[in-house]
Structures are given as C-alpha cells and as structure tokens.
Amino acid sequence: MHTHSSETIWEVEESLRQFGRCPIEELYNRGIPGPCTVVAHCVWLDDREIELLARSGTSVAHCPCSNMKLSSGPARVITRRKGITVGLGSDCEKENNNLDLLEEMKFASLLQMVSTLDPTTGDPWDILTMATLEGARALGLDVVTGSLEVGKQADIVTCCEDLAPAFPRDQPGKDGQPDPIGGLIAAPGDLAAQHRVLVPQRQHLRVFRPAAAQHGSRLLDQIPDQRGDDRQ
C-alpha cells in the first residue's frame, strides 16, 4: 500500500481537528502501516509517530525536492531514522517538475545540511543507499535489486565525469580522501546524460555476444576458485 502523509503543518492540524490524532496515529488506528506500506513525506512527525512507523515496519519515501518546492519543510524522520527504511522519491510532476532521482539525491543532501545547519550531514553514501538499496527494500525488491551482489539483477548506472565540467574530483569524503560518490551527488545534472539501456529484453545493444562470452570465459579462467581456496 502507498500513501502520502504528514506533509504539511496544516495536514497535521486538520487531522487533529477531525480525528483527534496526528496523521500517522490515525493511519495506525485504521491498520494501514505495516511492512507492505510505503508512506511518502513524513515531514511533520512527533516521536510517537516515528515509533509507530518503526514498530510496524512501515517504509518512508523521502521527497526532498517536493518538500522544498511546496515549502513543506525538512522531513524529521531523516534525522531520527530509528531503523525505518527510507527510500528516495520524487513525489509527482507538479510538485517537483522532474522525476530525476540523481537530482533528488543532491537535494536530499543539501536539505539535510541547511535544515541542521551542519555541513557534515547529508552523507553522500547514506543518500546513495536511500536512492538504491533502501528504495528497493521499501518496495520489497531488495532481494532482486538495489545493490550489486551475486544473484541480483545487474542494474548499473555508469557516469562519465569527463562530461561534467563542475565535477568536484577532489570532493573530500569522511576520511579526507577524494570521494567519487560525494562528487556524483554534488554534480548530478551533467552526469545524468549518460543514462543508456545496454541490455533490454536480454539483448545486448552494444556488445557482440559471442565475443563477449569468449572474453568473459577468459576472465573467469584468471579468477581463482574462491570456494576451493576457502576449503583449503
């Protein structure tokens, strides 16, 4: 089940007026939150509502561009995660004006920084996880996608930093070393032009399959048998 809730102060006040409860409490009272439910926004939550989301296994779709454009506010649930699965969402066209999740990553990071007045928040790796694995988990798809692992689908986005004049190659990470994910999140617009489907319907568009198979088997021969090594 998917719904949008606790987006504005007005919505909270109206829920209190009509039902005597905050929006998430009212949803909980009606049996809506649960492991198969994703709630967009969750901007104006009190501690009890965050607890209800965590306890019920409900996931959240964080929509920073929409929250900024509509002046809703920064989502409180982001800084008080409490184990809640939080994926990134774009809300809708009129609330956002595009559905670009790479851009959404940048705004998710910046919104955290400005709302906490702390430039060390909005961690790029945390934002990337929200845009990938956490988003997949929110939809119950984390067993098949969301991270590059053996057995999962190989959905890969490659980005060419040469096409992004403002790509900050020296963007420092937590350890002070250049962090490519920090650069990706800071300069998504130019990089987004690199999206291209390479394998639709199991048909490689840019790879000659027999040659690729030959090359792949040559590479496999060079890889030691990990299971065999472990047993020794």
- Chain residues that interact with Zn ion, rule: CB under 5 A: 4, 91
Residue nearest to Zn ion (CB): 4
Going by the DSSP 8-state scheme, the letter that residue 223 receives in this structure is: S
Name which of 91 and 103 has its Cβ closer to Zn ion. Answer: 91
Q: How far is the CB of 104 from Zn ion (least distance, A)?
A: 13
Alpha carbons 148 and 152: distance in angstroms, whole number: 7
- Give the Cα-Cα-Cα angle 38, 181, 93 (nearest 5 degrees): 40
Q: Minimal distance in Å, beta carbon 71 to Zn ion? A: 14
In the complex with Zn ion, the residue whose CB is nearer, 97 or 214, is 97
Backbone angles phi, psi at 158, to 5 degrees: -105, 145
Q: How far is the CB of 91 from Zn ion (least distance, A)?
A: 4
Q: How far is the CB of 94 from Zn ion (least distance, A)?
A: 10
Minimum gap (Å) between residue 48 Cβ and Zn ion: 22
CA distance 149 to 229: 20
Give one DSSP letter per residue of 1-26, joined into a string.
-EEEES-SHHHHHHHHHHHSS-HHHH
Nearer to Zn ion, 4 or 106 (CB): 4
Token couple for 23 = 């929006």
Toward Zn ion, which CB reaches closer, 40 or 185?
40
**Nearer Cβ to Zn ion, position 25 or 91?**
91
- Return the number of the residue (8 or 194) whose C-beta is nearest Zn ion: 8
Which SS3 state, helix, strand or coil, does residue 182 take? Answer: helix
Q: How far is the CB of 161 from Zn ion (least distance, A)?
A: 33
Tell me whether strands 86-88 and 38-41 are parallel, antiparallel or unpaired: unpaired
Residues 6+ apart with CB under 8 A from 129: none
